[in-house]
């Protein structure tokens, strides 16, 4: 029974610099990011983003939404996608697939909301002492909600909270009795969008070079200004602070070296299992790709044949292996035997 239950990523993946370096190439360079609703971009007021070491600048030239241009720190234009109802997405590298390949079916769901209807009001950004996955773990389940978010739990009873997984995106259903009541989305790997009533918020969980440190960026939108907006802001900030404190404690526990990995709740943590599986698949795929490239660089035979045959599974200069990496599900994963040491 236990062997069929989804398992977490190893704790070492939350604390390892070499693993983050692998995630940069495996996950971040191959993904899409929500920059925001078009209302965020005012004429000639550049908005700067940074994802996994790549800086993007989005600038609007005219009132026409199509005039919003994104450039990276090399002056190159990444792939971008503007949805019909006003959300702007971008990649940080050409290595990412097309938008529709990365997020199949997402645009149908987005088409039901006019994202231009809620004016941009405010942003806030700060650092936290936790890995990016520690925050996403918490966003992708609501088992912690009753304890951590007493005010939120009055509005959204955690007992009925559900997460529906799609390819690279997840929809959170706060109340299954009212599936059209609000829109709560997670975009793999690090973006979210939450629309309810006249309010809308998005946050980005931006990794840094330090695996135990993350920059949180929030943008808030609301049809209301003034006091009514401040009421909304106070409520959503309270929930965000509660999550922040929980993440710092969870990260501290992950770094103690006692907890290694565990079993996920097969009903209440399907969102966590899904996104962690995507991280795992992409990291393993990159590892395989790196290994193939390395082998191709080796001479066919001769002086280096000995070193080829004795090549360790993982190069310690980039990330080192250990044998306890055997994550949930199947032999293919276990066979790969990738692990990242701290
Ligand atoms: Fe939370």
Question: Would the pLDDT of 142 be above 60?
Answer: yes
CA of 243 to the centre of ligand 1 (A): 5
218: CATH: 3.30.530.20
Give the mean model confidence (pLDDT) for residues 143-168.
87
Kindly report, residue by residue over 235-287, the tens digit of the pLDDT.
999 999 999 999 999 999 999 999 999 999 999 999 999 999 999 999 999 99
Q: Tokens for 18?
A: 């070499």
Distance, in Å, from the CA atom of 160 to the CA atom of 183, rounded to the nearest integer, reads: 16
Residue 95 lies in a domain: yes
CA of 141 to the centre of ligand 1 (A): 8
Question: Would the pLDDT of 319 be above 90?
Answer: no
Residue 86 lies in a domain: yes
CA of 258 to the centre of ligand 1 (A): 24
CA of 139 to the centre of ligand 1 (A): 6
pLDDT number for residue 295:
86
Question: Would the pLDDT of 228 be above 50?
Answer: yes
CA of 182 to the centre of ligand 1 (A): 17
pLDDT number for residue 1:
55
Residue 271 lies in a domain: no
CA dihedral sign, ordered 145, 170, 182, 135: positive
Q: In the chain, what is the greatest distance between 2 CA atoms, to the nearest angstrom?
A: 76
CA of 138 to the centre of ligand 1 (A): 6
pLDDT averaged over every residue in the chain = 87
**Which candidate, 85, 99, 89, 82, places its Cα nearest to that of 35?**
89
CA of 155 to the centre of ligand 1 (A): 13
The contacts of residue 299 (CB under 8 Å, 6+ apart) are 305
Q: Tokens for 255?
A: 């770094």
The contacts of residue 218 (CB under 8 Å, 6+ apart) are 123, 124, 125, 201, 202, 203, 240
CA of 148 to the centre of ligand 1 (A): 7
CA of 145 to the centre of ligand 1 (A): 6
Domain extent, residue 99, equals 34-254
CA of 221 to the centre of ligand 1 (A): 20
Question: Would the pLDDT of 20 be above 50?
Answer: yes
Percent of the chain with pLDDT over 90: 75
DSSP secondary-structure letter at 196? E
Beta bridge partners of 80: 90
Q: How much is the pTM? A: 0.87
Q: How many domains does the chain have?
A: 1
CA of 135 to the centre of ligand 1 (A): 9
Residue 175 lies in a domain: yes
Contact predicate 222/232, CB 8 Å: yes
CA of 185 to the centre of ligand 1 (A): 14
CA of 301 to the centre of ligand 1 (A): 56
Instruction: State CA 183 to chain mean position distance.
Output: 18
Residue 219 lies in a domain: yes
CA of 128 to the centre of ligand 1 (A): 15
Contact predicate 88/191, CB 8 Å: no
Residue 170 lies in a domain: yes
CA of 223 to the centre of ligand 1 (A): 24
Residue 316 lies in a domain: no
Residue 6 lies in a domain: no
Name the one residue in this structure whose structure tokens are 């604390």.
Answer: 15
């Amino acid at each position: 029974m236990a062997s069929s239950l989804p398992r977490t990523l190893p704790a070492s993946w939350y604390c390892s610099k070499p693993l983050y370096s692998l995630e940069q190439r495996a996950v971040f360079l191959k993904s899409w990011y929500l920059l925001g609703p078009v209302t965020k971009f005012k004429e000639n007021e550049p908005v700067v983003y940074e994802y996994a070491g790549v800086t993007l600048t989005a600038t609007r030239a005219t009132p026409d939404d199509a005039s919003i241009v994104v450039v990276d720190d090399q002056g190159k234009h990444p792939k971008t996608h503007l949805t019909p109802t006003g959300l702007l997405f971008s990649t940080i590298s050409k290595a990412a697939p097309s938008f529709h390949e990365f997020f199949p079916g997402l645009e149908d769901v987005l088409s039901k909301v006019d994202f231009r209807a809620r004016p941009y009001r405010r942003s806030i950004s700060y650092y936290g002492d936790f890995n990016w996955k520690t925050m996403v773990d918490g966003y992708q389940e609501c088992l912690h909600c009753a304890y951590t978010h007493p005010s939120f739990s009055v509005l959204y009873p955690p007992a009925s909270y559900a997460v529906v997984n799609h390819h690279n995106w997840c929809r959170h259903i706060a109340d299954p009795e009212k599936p059209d009541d609000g829109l709560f989305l997670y975009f793999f790997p690090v973006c979210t969008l939450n629309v309810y009533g006249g309010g809308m918020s998005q946050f980005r969980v931006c990794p840094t070079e330090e695996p135990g440190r993350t920059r949180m960026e929030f943008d808030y939108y609301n049809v209301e200004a003034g006091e009514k907006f401040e009421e909304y802001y106070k409520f959503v900030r309270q929930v965000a602070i509660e999550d922040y404190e929980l993440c710092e404690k969870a990260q501290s526990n992950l770094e103690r070296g006692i907890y290694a990995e565990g079993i996920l709740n097969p009903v209440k943590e399907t969102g966590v299992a899904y996104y962690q599986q995507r991280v795992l698949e992409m990291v393993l795929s990159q590892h395989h790709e790196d290994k193939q490239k390395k082998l191709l660089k080796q001479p066919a035979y001769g002086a280096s044949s000995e070193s080829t045959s004795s090549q360790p599974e993982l190069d310690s200069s980039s990330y080192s292996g250990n044998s306890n990496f055997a994550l949930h599900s199947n032999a293919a994963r276990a066979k790969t035997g990738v692990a990242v040491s701290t």
